Chains A and B, each alone.
Chain A
Amino acid sequence: MAGAVEKRLEGQPRAGRVLPAFALVGWRWVSRNPVATIVPILLPFMFLYFLWRISDPRYFPLEVVGAMLFTTQNIGSWCLSDSAYWRIEQRLQDLFVASPMGKVRYLFGIAFSNLIPAAPALAILAVILAWVTPVSLFGWLMLLAAILVIWVTFSAIGLAVSSRLVSPREVWPVGNLIFTTLGIISPLYYPITILPPVWQGVARFLPATYAALLVQDALGLRSAVPGEMALDAVLLLVSAVVGIGLALRLYRWRER
């Protein structure tokens, strides 16, 4: 009997449907809860307003880039929340595990569905960035690449952590603690050079640091020595691969 079911499942198409399905999930969240969608993306704007009030105006373009990367990084926190809610409260993960869809497609689908609510904020910030500083085509490409790498890496971290939570009441504090702390240690909103040496050293272990440095180099927001930009790009990829690898090891797809 089980063999017959397996055989029938093998006959089903397994590719090409996950992204549209999860895109629909993401869009439903936006259309049904406009306030719930706006509020999480407001925080980077509020930080930006606060920084605009207190800091040197020449840092503003750098802070806009920081807000874009911080918003992208926060997608990890939303992935954590969604994944934990589906698994703990709604027991939906059991359904996904039993379905022909694999673990990686499920994870990528959640990450994709959470990218959709963040997209309007990223678009608005991109307009602000283009308004406050000239951005070349190369600059946009580097920014896009950095956003993609940060999105995949932090979504993987969020999903991995979510699989270890046991109560829905842990979701908010754990997500907040991890992603806010990581967002502040990385020099997203300020130049790395003005941070104390110990802080700079710790920040060098985080992928978002290299994403920020890479984009700041590409946009001419800091004076990097030749070759430094390539090194930042390589270190971003290396730290992302390490982060994703650790996340995949930590992630628990099936109940034991």
Chain B
Amino acid sequence: MAFGLRWAGTGVFCATEIRVQFHEWLAILTGTLVQAVLLIFVWVLARDILPIALIGALVYSVFLIGQRVLNEAAYVRIDHKLNELYHASPMSPEAYFLGMSTGIFLAYLPPILVIAVVTIVVAPFGLLPWGVLIACLLAVWSVSASLGYFISTLFKDMKTIWPYSSLITNLLGIVPPVFYPLHLVPEGWRWLALVLPTSSATALVNGAAGLEVLSGEDVLLAGGSLAVEAIALFIFGIYWARRAAREA
């Protein structure tokens, strides 16, 4: 039982979270602002890399879900102390973590779908790249949601959280080659880009769509890192949710 997973309450909590998030429609709407800004930069200054930037926008949008999980988990715990109520209920800690992460993901899906439609119009890809894209987005979601939930438990004050969440999302979303091609990064630093979850996901999709040429080693490094990060962080997220529930 110690390692067994208990999912009781996941669906209900996911539905609750979707409702909660839909009350914050302005936050959902403005959640794509940075992506829009970077896409405008690309459209104005380097239109030839627009398809790559659109894929980057999709990856970055999903990566931002982690920031929302961080904010929501911290808000529920610090401002409302509601987590104590949830953990005292029959709902399991893993259902709390997964329900919240999935609910936020689904609530923030509409703007992501808009970017996906624009991508289909601007750069029509085959089925394989879309399959790779969906797999990579799920992996990025797993990484960011687990990371966001973990970080949310480290703070005692809402005002101290946002700079860290903003720093992580911007450092991993804007600086590495997410919105621009991997070949613009100096050769000595490409391995780092292929290890980071956001840029490895973008590189894999770009490679599958034929927008960039990746060597077999590059694909192995990017795919391997992303898969390991997604699985390891998800398991860690579940472990941390249980631990946080015990301490609540």
Same assembly: yes
List residues of A whose CB falls within 8 A of some B CB.
33, 35-36, 38-40, 42-43, 46-47, 49-51, 53-56, 59, 169-170, 172-174, 176-177, 180-181, 184, 189-190, 194-195
Q: Is the Cβ of B46 less than 8 Å from the Cβ of A54? A: yes
Q: How far is the CA of A189 from the CA of B33 in the complex (A)?
A: 16
B159 contacts which of A36, A170, A195 (Cβ < 8 Å)? A36
Q: Is the Cβ of A177 less than 8 Å from the Cβ of B180? A: no
List 17 extra interface pairs beyond A50-B38, A54-B179, A172-B162, CB under 8 A: A35-B163, A46-B174, A46-B175, A47-B174, A50-B175, A50-B180, A51-B45, A53-B184, A59-B45, A169-B24, A172-B27, A172-B30, A173-B30, A174-B26, A176-B33, A177-B33, A195-B44
Q: List 6 A-B contacts (CB under 8 A).
A: A39-B163, A46-B174, A50-B174, A176-B30, A184-B37, A194-B44
Give the chain A neighbours of B113 by CB distance below 8 A. Answer: none
Q: A47-B41, A50-B180, A54-B41 are in contact. Are A35 and B164 (CB under 8 A)?
A: yes
Q: How far is the CA of A155 from the CA of B106 in the complex (A)?
A: 36
Give the chain B neighbours of A54 by CB distance below 8 A. Answer: 41-42, 45-46, 49, 179-180, 184
Q: Is the Cβ of A177 less than 8 Å from the Cβ of B29? A: yes
Q: Is the Cβ of B26 less than 8 Å from the Cβ of A46? A: no
Q: Is the Cβ of A55 less than 8 Å from the Cβ of B46? A: yes
Tell me how far the C-beta of A90 lies from the nearest C-beta in chain B, rounded to whole angstroms. 12
Chain B binding surface, main DSSP class: helix
Tell me how far the C-beta of A196 lies from the nearest C-beta in chain B, rounded to whole angstroms. 9
Q: Is the Cβ of A39 less than 8 Å from the Cβ of B38? A: no
Give the chain A neighbours of B175 by CB distance below 8 A. Answer: 46, 49-50
Q: List the B residue with the shortest CB-CB distance to A194.
A: B44
Q: Is the Cβ of B41 less than 8 Å from the Cβ of A39? A: no
The winner among A47, A50, A195 for most chain B CB atoms within 10 A is A50
Q: Is the Cβ of B26 less than 8 Å from the Cβ of A177? A: yes
Give the chain A neighbours of B167 by CB distance below 8 A. Answer: 35, 39, 42
B170 contacts which of A43, A59, A184 (Cβ < 8 Å)? A43
Tell me how far the C-beta of A183 lies from the nearest C-beta in chain B, rounded to whole angstroms. 8
B16 within 8 A of A: no
Give the chain B neighbours of A35 by CB distance below 8 A. Answer: 160, 163-164, 167
B40 within 8 A of A: yes
Tell me how far the C-beta of B83 lies from the nearest C-beta in chain A, rounded to whole angstroms. 19
Q: How many residue pairs, one in A and one in B, have C-beta atoms under 8 Å apart?
A: 85
List residues of B whose CB falls within 8 A of some A CB.
24, 26-27, 29-30, 33-34, 36-38, 40-42, 44-46, 49, 159-160, 162-164, 166-167, 170-171, 174-175, 179-180, 184
Q: Is the Cβ of B41 less than 8 Å from the Cβ of A51? A: yes
Q: List the A residue with the shortest CB-CB distance to B23.
A: A169
Q: How far is the CA of A177 from the CA of B36 in the complex (A)?
A: 11
Q: How far is the CA of A180 from the CA of B164 in the complex (A)?
A: 20
Tell me how far the C-beta of A181 lies from the nearest C-beta in chain B, rounded to whole angstroms. 8
Give the chain B neighbours of A53 by CB distance below 8 A. Answer: 180, 184
Q: List the A residue with the shortest CB-CB distance to B161.
A: A36
Q: List the A residue with the shortest CB-CB distance to B185.
A: A53
Q: List the B residue with the shortest CB-CB distance to A176.
A: B30
The winner among B45, B160, B180 for most chain A CB atoms within 10 A is B45
The winner among A35, A54, A176 for most chain B CB atoms within 10 A is A54
Give the chain B neighbours of A170 by CB distance below 8 A. Answer: 26
Q: Is the Cβ of A180 less than 8 Å from the Cβ of B33? A: yes
Q: Is the Cβ of B41 less than 8 Å from the Cβ of A56? A: no
Q: How far is the CA of A135 from the CA of B170 in the complex (A)?
A: 31
Q: A54-B49, A190-B45 are in contact. Are A33 and B163 (CB under 8 A)?
A: yes
Q: Is the Cβ of A173 less than 8 Å from the Cβ of B26? A: yes
Q: Is the Cβ of A190 less than 8 Å from the Cβ of B33? A: no
Q: List the B residue with the shortest CB-CB distance to A49.
A: B175
Q: Is the Cβ of A173 less than 8 Å from the Cβ of B40? A: no
Q: How far is the CA of A189 from the CA of B164 in the complex (A)?
A: 26
